[in-house]
Amino acid sequence: MHHAFVDRYSEMDSPIHRLDPRIKLVGFGLLIVSVILMNVVSFRVFGLLAGLFGVLVVSSQVPLSFILKRSLVIVPFSVMIAAFLPFMKEGTPIWNVDLSVISLKVTEEGIRLFTNIVAKSFFSVISVILLTSTTRFPDLLKALEALKCPQVMILIFSFMYRYVFVVEDEFMKMRQAKKSRSVHHSWWPEVKCLSNMIAVLFLRSYERAEAVYLAMCSRGFKGSVPYHPEFRLAFGDMVFLAVIVISLAAIRYVEYHHG
């Protein structure tokens, strides 16, 4: 079975790959928070952020096609969520459509808000992709533990990543069995069959979760899995964090004085 691992390029050797996972978590976390708080619609701010992320992408050596494909999976959801803002936000109208039942009005403020949300989601998704693509998933869990993240969250991430591929295998086997036993050509039987497959998959996942939990309890599981992180900060880690902080401060300054 073919799986799309989030840390597919984590074994590469680049300046970003060699960073301490804790520093990467803090650095990319600062990036995401700062992007959310900035006015990305400003041309200067957008250009500076694009340049900063461009440097990070080049430094990571992760293929640009991989990053764009992964981002295009998530960004359409933010587009769908913000699609009605240009019609709902009050402001200066730039386009009117009078229908027999309703009148639609697109405002300049609505367009700016829509663009702002989509751009912020795009930069945030790229941050997450760079973090997960340049760090082995077990190292991310160790970094979370080192940063005193709640054990419940670490367990959820660990089991989710471990068993999502098992669930995917189950679904692919069910789909292959369905294809070998059916000759439906219309869309409605396919939809009904797919809904039944999803229901069966949910039941199997629930049963598997119960079996795994009982097996863990029988082996002395106490509610936490210590990962014993062993990380050492290097000079390059501090330089990376300093560059991120200084770059974000400079972009914030440009936004405040020239945005």
Q: pLDDT tens digit string along 144-156?
A: 888 888 888 888 8
What is the per-residue pLDDT for 171? 80
pLDDT, the chain, mean: 81
Contact residues for 131 (Cβ-Cβ < 8 A; gap 6+): 24, 25, 28, 140
| The pLDDT of residue 28 is above 90 | yes
Q: pLDDT tens digit string along 34-56?
A: 988 888 777 888 888 889 999 99
Runs of H (alpha helix) within 83-186: 85-88, 108-133, 137-146, 151-181
- Span 25-32, mean pLDDT? 92
Q: pLDDT tens digit string along 185-198?
A: 666 777 777 788 88
Q: pLDDT tens digit string along 228-237?
A: 667 788 888 8
More confident of the two residues 4 and 139: 139
* Predicted confidence band of residue 5 (pLDDT cuts 50, 70, 90): low
| The pLDDT of residue 94 is above 80 | no
At residue 27, φ and ψ (nearest 5 deg) are -65, -50
* Predicted confidence band of residue 200 (pLDDT cuts 50, 70, 90): confident
DSSP-derived 3-state class of residue 243: helix
What is the per-residue pLDDT for 31? 92
* Predicted confidence band of residue 109 (pLDDT cuts 50, 70, 90): confident
What is the per-residue pLDDT for 183? 64
- Span 19-30, mean pLDDT? 91
Residue 103 gets which letter from DSSP?
Answer: E
Can you tell me the distance from the alpha carbon of 138 to that of 229, in angstroms, rounded to the nearest whole number?
Answer: 10
Contact residues for 3 (Cβ-Cβ < 8 A; gap 6+): 165, 168
- Span 124-128, mean pLDDT? 91
| The pLDDT of residue 7 is above 70 | no
DSSP-derived 3-state class of residue 16: coil
| The pLDDT of residue 2 is above 60 | no
Q: pLDDT tens digit string along 58-89?
A: 999 888 888 888 888 778 888 888 777 777 77
What is the per-residue pLDDT for 32? 92
